[in-house]
């Protein structure tokens, strides 16, 4: 289409594309540097058991404070890294660092790390996981890898082989963003997931008098129970959402109502202060006395 627009148009588009490509390259270079000089960090968001408000795990989430551009969110830089081989190094770095940090936590507390589909398909992925566990001494059962349905886009035989290898090592597998992709149910038939994570979008629409979202959350919880899997509801911010998902039977919640992701130093402080419990607290307009759970 660009070519049909005549010479001027073509130049316009290619100049723009060149800018985009240049920006991509700059970001990749900056990311490489950030990994080395530690301006790229992992923060940890608690996963909480609702029955007693105890922290059962944390999800590692990348945070990048760019020296000139400020905070760049993972939804911005992860896709760029995924378009290059850098995602493999970045992903390996995250698993290694998360395992290391988790060794300083109570043994009951798990660490969840996001794994991109491209990283999962990489030939050295399983070896990287094994190395991280061996180097840090973390119990494999304490490491949970969060995958999305996109891992099934690749060759099914290879995917299943990788699943089997990971199960043999003894790490846990979670299916992230559940319900947002395609034909999720057939994946559950054969894949060895230990946990489903209900996507935040269902929780978001829950409050807008959307009966269906609440019913879907309820059904996903029921499905997980039937299949013997854990389920975490993600992205709970407000008390009315909290009430509702608790009523639907959510045993584990991860969301701002408990805490945002925080640096390892703050988590260590908390451990030193003896507490691994956390209370739900939301914005002022959601009054705690309205809570029915």
Binding site for ligand C2E (CB under 6 A): 45, 60-62, 73-75, 78, 91, 94, 114-116, 146, 176-177, 200, 234-237, 254-256, 261
**Helix and strand numbers, DSSP H then E, in the chain:** 11, 10
Closest distance of CB 212 from Mg ion, Å: 20
Closest distance of CB 59 from ligand C2E, Å: 6
Interface contacts to Mg ion, rule CB under 5 A:
114, 146, 176-177
Choose among ligand C2E, Mg ion, none what residue 101 binds, the Cβ cut-off being 5 to 8 Å by kind: none
CB 171 within 8 A of CB 129: yes
286: its two tokens: 């959601």
DSSP 35-101: HHHT-EEEEEEEEEETTTTEEEEEEEEEEEEETTTEEE-HHHHHHHHHTSTHHHHHHHHHHHHHHHH
235 versus 280: smaller Cβ distance to Mg ion: 235
Lookup result for tokens 């979670």 = 174
57 versus 235: smaller Cβ distance to ligand C2E: 235
Closest distance of CB 289 from Mg ion, Å: 31
Closest distance of CB 225 from ligand C2E, Å: 22
147 versus 221: smaller Cβ distance to ligand C2E: 147
Choose among ligand C2E, Mg ion, none what residue 237 binds, the Cβ cut-off being 5 to 8 Å by kind: ligand C2E
32 versus 43: smaller Cβ distance to Mg ion: 43
Closest distance of CB 189 from ligand C2E, Å: 23
Q: What is the largest CA-CA distance in the chain?
A: 70
Distance, CA of 16 to chain centre: 33
Cβ-based neighbour number of residue 23 at 10 Å: 11
Lookup result for tokens 């960090």 = 41
13 versus 100: smaller Cβ distance to ligand C2E: 100
Using CA atoms, how far apart are residues 56 and 85, in angstroms rounded to an integer? 33
């Amino acid at each position: 289409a660009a070519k049909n627009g005549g010479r001027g148009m073509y130049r316009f588009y290619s100049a723009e594309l060149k800018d985009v490509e240049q920006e991509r390259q700059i970001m990749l270079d900056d990311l490489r540097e950030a990994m080395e000089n530690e301006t790229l960090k992992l923060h940890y968001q608690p996963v909480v058991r609702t029955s007693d408000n105890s922290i059962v795990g944390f999800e590692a989430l990348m945070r990048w404070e760019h020296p000139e551009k400020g905070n760049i969110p993972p939804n911005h830089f992860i896709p760029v890294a995924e378009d290059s081989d850098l995602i493999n190094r970045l992903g390996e770095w995250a698993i290694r660092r998360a395992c290391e940090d988790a060794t300083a936590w109570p043994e009951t507390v798990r660490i969840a790390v996001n794994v991109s589909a491209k990283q999962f398909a990489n030939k050295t992925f399983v070896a990287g996981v094994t190395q991280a566990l061996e180097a840090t001494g973390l119990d494999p059962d304490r490491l949970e890898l969060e995958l999305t349905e996109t891992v099934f886009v690749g060759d099914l035989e290879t995917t299943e082989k990788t699943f089997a290898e990971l199960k043999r090592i003894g790490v846990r597998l979670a299916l992230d963003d559940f319900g947002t992709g395609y034909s999720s149910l057939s994946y559950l038939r054969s894949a060895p997931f230990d946990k489903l994570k209900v996507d935040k979008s269902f929780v978001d629409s829950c409050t807008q008098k959307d009966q269906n979202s609440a019913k879907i959350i309820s059904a996903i919880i029921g499905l997980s129970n039937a299949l013997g899997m854990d389920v975490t509801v993600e992205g709970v911010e407000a008390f009315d959402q909290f009430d509702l998902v608790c009523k639907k039977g959510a045993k584990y919640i991860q969301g701002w109502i408990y805490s945002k992701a925080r640096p390892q130093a703050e988590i260590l402080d908390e451990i030193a202060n003896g507490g691994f419990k956390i209370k739900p607290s939301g914005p002022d307009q959601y009054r705690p006395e309205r809570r029915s759970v």
